[in-house]
Structure 1
Amino acid sequence: MQKLVTIFGGSGFIGRYVAQRMARAGWRVRVAVRRPNEAHFVRMYGAVGQVEPVFANIRDDASVAAALSGADAVVNCVGILAPSGKNGFDSVQAEGAGRIARLAAAEGIDRMVQISAIGADADSHSDYARTKAEGEAAVLEHMPGAVILRPSIVFGPEDEFFNRFAGMTRLSPFVPLVGPDTKFQPVYVGDVAEAVEAALEGRAQAGIYELGGPDIHTFRELMQLMLRVIHRRRLLLPMPFFAARIMASVLDMGQAATGGLLHNGTLTRDQVQNLRHDNIVRERGFEALGIVPTSMEAVLPDYLWRFRPSGQYADIKDSARNLKP
């Protein structure tokens, strides 16, 4: 009989790659999301009936328990970069993760993977980093055999990092940099999904794994790489932390004053706090899982080409310039 895995947040950026990979591995996949009607695309990841979206709100015991019913394993991919309404850092990343683990243990599920983040720290001044750590602790309290994956910035076709800044170059002559010298170790989303599969298939010991790509770059260097890939020249404008915090405070207050109608998707005070710290691997990672991480140079051109001035024809035009008259 095929094993069944429930993936909370399975229609999100990382979750959809996990769902696709587990379907290819022969598992039945239950994608637990708040809006299943908007997640029908996951059905195409497997054979008819192999991948099914279902309703679940990780702030609610009953819906989480229903999504876990009959499952052999569970993956929690739910996370937020900024709070919105009832979906705050504590309710989603700390309490929500603990709820999933508690109810999974009650269901008799013995395999769980929690997607956390490098920088998770219970003593952090960042609510994002603090609640990621609290979520890890809550998961291990109920599921001591769980595997915790802490990726650095995750890149891939649907990412909110390179796509966001590449899109900015279409309208702006400069790219603002908060923490230009902060170091990152971007990791390919497909490699994160492979790590999840290794854990669910029993090829990973319980505990924490930090996932980063083969290269470490500063924020400035990442933007320089992005500009080379999209064939654009833009001024990289460092922004002092004090100025970034003032700007973020204004944007945060705007969201609070409008009751969330003006959502701050630009820059929050919490994000400014996180950008003060390097985001690189310091513990065991891919090597312990037998996975060779993918380089950015091998992937970025495949999806950032659309931000080039000539789009898909950029390479053809470059070749034409080399032709002799």
Structure 2
Amino acid sequence: MTSVIKVPPLVTVFGGSGFLGRHVVRALAKRGYRVRVAVRNPNLAGHLQPLGNVGQIQAVQANLRVRWSVDRAVQGADHVVNLVGILFESGRQSFDAVQDFGARAVAEAARAEGATLTHVSAIGSGKESPADYARTKARGEQAVLETMPDAVIFRPSIMFGPEDGFFNRFAAMARLSPALPLIGGGHTKFQPVYVADVAEAIARSVEGKVEGGRIYELGGPETMTFKQCMEKMLEVIERKRMLVSVPWGMARLQGSLLGLLPNPLLTRDQVEMLRTDNVVSQAAEQEGRTFEALGIKPQAMDAILPSYLWQYRPAGQFTQPNAA
């Protein structure tokens, strides 16, 4: 009697080598999926291989600006996950090309292949936003739902975790600088969310456990101002630093100048984003489009931040608890 070997479903993950991507790949690999990671440079995705079994994770070249590479990356996939987004423009990597045109390209390729789709956007997306980032994110969402009405869209708040670009960046600044800037006084509200919780939501979507055709907003259990986030970070790394308010006008000027650098610390567009709170909307809570509807209890910052920010303490891992 001939036995039939059942091949696990294939999931193509665009942007799978990034901060969120590596957690999504890990969550999918643990569930037994075959994972095809579509990235611009597969040679820089070797760190993903240990997350799964031999041959389970494969990196392929794809660029959202090149449609045929998107189609090739999706070929044979049962589900497609699009995580690609940029915080600042660089050369041909513009907001329009990546977050609008790119989102539509992935959706059209998934539809042609008969695959289901999960798309990751961001809280704050809006067609009327003064920030190019937010407007193109909103147009990307619209393109996805126009192309695949049953797609699942997630909008996370600012994400934290071992490789994040938020707490790590400011903690690194605190090691060298006697003061940290508070853009606009630091009053902007965030709902920081643990990156692994967002990855779990995406994995459940791939499993078909999330209702499609809806936009879910994912925020952590705590709502904090930018200033409170800095105070929390300084408490964890056990350093005392001045928090200096930077008026909006000066911040825009700084963003315009710093935005000219290859990897800017701040851009004018990011300053515009900071003028709007980055928290889960009341509509999402009332309509059941949050973590609660997905059966996920998001983890608090106190449980996660010390696990990776210890490296910024005066004596690193050897710092005594509650040391001055």
Choose from 58, 66, 70 the match for 2:76: 70
Question: One-letter code of the match for 1:309?
Answer: P
- Which residue does 1:259 correspond to in 2? none
Correspondence 1:103 to 2:102: no
- Deviation of 1:250 (Å): 2.2
- C-alpha distance in 1 between matches for 2:166 and 2:264: 12
- Deviation of 1:108 (Å): 1.3
- C-alpha distance in 1 between matches for 2:263 and 2:65: 22
3-state SS of 2:68 partner: helix
- C-alpha distance in 2 between matches for 1:100 and 1:239: 39
Correspondence 1:274 to 2:273: yes
- Deviation of 1:70 (Å): 0.3
- Which residue does 2:243 correspond to in 1? 236
Gaps of 5+ in 1: 256-261
For normalisation by structure 2, the TM-score amounts to 0.94
- Which residue does 1:222 correspond to in 2? 229
- Deviation of 1:112 (Å): 0.8
Q: Within 5 A, what are the aligned runs for 1:69-218?
A: 69-109=75-115, 111-179=116-184, 180-206=186-212, 207-218=214-225
3-state SS of 1:278 partner: coil
- C-alpha distance in 2 between matches for 1:30 and 1:277: 36
- Which residue does 1:311 correspond to in 2? 316
For normalisation by structure 1, the TM-score amounts to 0.94
- C-alpha distance in 2 between matches for 1:246 and 1:41: 38
- Which residue does 1:59 correspond to in 2? 65
- C-alpha distance in 2 between matches for 1:118 and 1:178: 19
Q: Structure 1 residues 317 and 287, CA, compared in 2 at 3 Å: closer, same or farther?
A: closer
- Deviation of 1:56 (Å): 0.4
- C-alpha distance in 1 between matches for 2:201 and 2:31: 13
Correspondence 1:245 to 2:244: no
Choose from 12, 20, 23 the match for 2:29: 23
3-state SS of 1:170 partner: helix
- Deviation of 1:251 (Å): 2.5
Alignment RMSD, CA only? Answer: 1.1
Gaps of 5+ in 2: 1-6
- C-alpha distance in 2 between matches for 1:60 and 1:135: 16
Identity value in percent? 56
- Deviation of 1:315 (Å): 2.6
Residue-pair matches, total? 310
